[in-house]
Structure 1
Amino acid sequence: MGALAQLRAGRKLRRIPQLLVGLVGYGASVMALVQSGLGAASWNVLTEGIAGITQLSFGWASNLVALTVLVAWIPIRELPGIGTVLNVAVIGISADAAARFLPVPHGFAAQLGYLLGGLVALAFFDALYLGAQFGSGPRDGLMTGLVRLTGRPVAVVRTGIEVLVAVTGWLLGGTVGFGTVVIAVCFGPLVGLFLPWLTVRLSTSEPDKA
């Protein structure tokens, strides 16, 4: 659905809080993965590298990456939704806030706990905000736009993007580890597991109700 259809669709009393909780939780989960020190998701590797070069906080660097990717939507003719705009603003702020409260893990067991807990939480909150049906984030929209333009399978396009982004982030000084591989392999299936349970069923023609 386009932005207007998303707003006209019903069940907003559930969808709006679900969107906001999903985005805040997503940002906090991102920071847990980064603080694990075992390797973050590819986009977060890129964000970490940019943050180190620019001296921006991780959250502001995340917002900068999201805005840049959003500009890349223009030539591939992707249309943003309400969730797309809030994605740019909320996730970075949430990640910075989480960095202030999450204790630094000491020892491999604690690091592994941050990695596995952060991965499950990231997939859950990603499915939560996507399930609100207010539009995808900049990174997801880049993938769907390229799939539409190239006609290539989602798996091929997604993998190509993830590898390119991770390598670029590593060259800029971001942390790549075995956790990066674990996230790349497990994130998609976990989102697929959560999404059917968290997607709000609605029709653009139904009355606006909770």
Structure 2
Amino acid sequence: MRKVLMWRWIFYFAGLLVMALGVSMTIKGQEVGIGPWDVLHVGLYKHFGLTIGTWGIITGFVIILATAAVLKEWPKIGTWLNMLLLGIFIDIFNWLLPDFTTFGAQLIIFIFGVIVMGYGAGMYISPNIGAGPRDSLMLLFVKKTGMSIKKVRTTIEVIVALVGWLFGGPIGVGTVLIALFLGQMIHYTLPQNRRVLMKIIGEQDEKVLL
């Protein structure tokens, strides 16, 4: 059992690290466009200062409190760690990665960033330790409205992107591409990572990932 728990946490932390790298790569290619939530975080950063990662933590904290109040229950520890670590990792990678001045270079880093982000998301979700604050918000609206995940996610991301744009966040073709295709990538990377994790911990422990 200790081995199972250890590997679940390894996949969780590694997935957050990979996902943060992907987010930072798309931010470095922001002339193409960035993810809807990152539009908001960059817009708040431009308008009020602090850092992009800090705004990710702040918005995540507000979402966690709101969803906890509605559901009358505290989320899993993984949700809190997602809120905190993803913001910290994004700031670290934003500092480490160089800036790209040409559109061609930004397009390349953006494309690879989306791929990395999709794989990281599938990796951190696979051990079922806790959904991120924004995924929890999406699931809450699905539960309350009865709408499909696709409709709820699209509606939330459109609203968030528009608010971020009003604060000066960058919207582009890439924003639409991330909104449309990131979920499709996770559809493939999540089961792939679960198969790898199950192979490591043993098929008999599959129930812990459900």
Is this a same-fold pair by TM over 0.5? yes
Q: 1:10 to 1:136 in 2, by over 3 A?
A: farther
1:166 to 124, 139, 161: 161
- Which of residues 14, 22, 27 is equivalent to 1:29? 22
> Aligned pairs, how many?
197
Aligned to 1:3: none
What is the CA-CA distance between 1:159 and the residue it aligns to?
0.8
Matched residue SS, 2:207: coil
Q: TM-score, normalised by structure 1?
A: 0.89
Quote the Cα distance in structure 2 between the aligned partners of 1:52 and 1:106: 19
User: With structure 2 as the length reference, what TM-score do the two structures score?
Assistant: 0.89
CA-atom RMSD in angstroms: 1.6
Which amino acid in 2 is paired with 1:30? V
Q: Which amino acid in 2 is paired with 1:60?
A: T
**Counterpart in 2 of 1:184?**
179
Instruction: Give the percent of matched residue pairs that are identical in Structure 1 and Structure 2.
Output: 31
Mark the CA change 1:104 to 1:156 in structure 2 (over 3 Å): closer, same or farther.
same
Q: Find runs of 4+ consecutive structure 1 residues off by over 6 angstroms.
A: none
Tell me the amino acid that sits aligned with residue 20 of structure 2: G
Question: Which residue in 2 is equivalent to 1:70?
Answer: 64
Does the 8 Å contact 2:28/2:109 carry over to 1? yes
CA contact (8 A) 2:68 2:75 kept: no
1:83 Cα deviation after fit: 1.5
1:9-59 C-alpha deviation (Å, 9 max, x unpaired): 971121111111111221221111111022110000001111122211111
* Partners of 1:58 and 1:153 in 2: CA distance: 30
Structure 1, unmatched stretches of 5+, are: 1-7, 205-210
The one-letter amino acid of 1:13's match is M
1:165 Cα deviation from its structure 2 partner: 0.4
Q: Partner residue of 1:56? A: 50
Structure 2 unaligned residues grouped into runs of 5+: 199-205
Q: Give yes or no for the alignment of 1:203 onto 2:196.
A: no
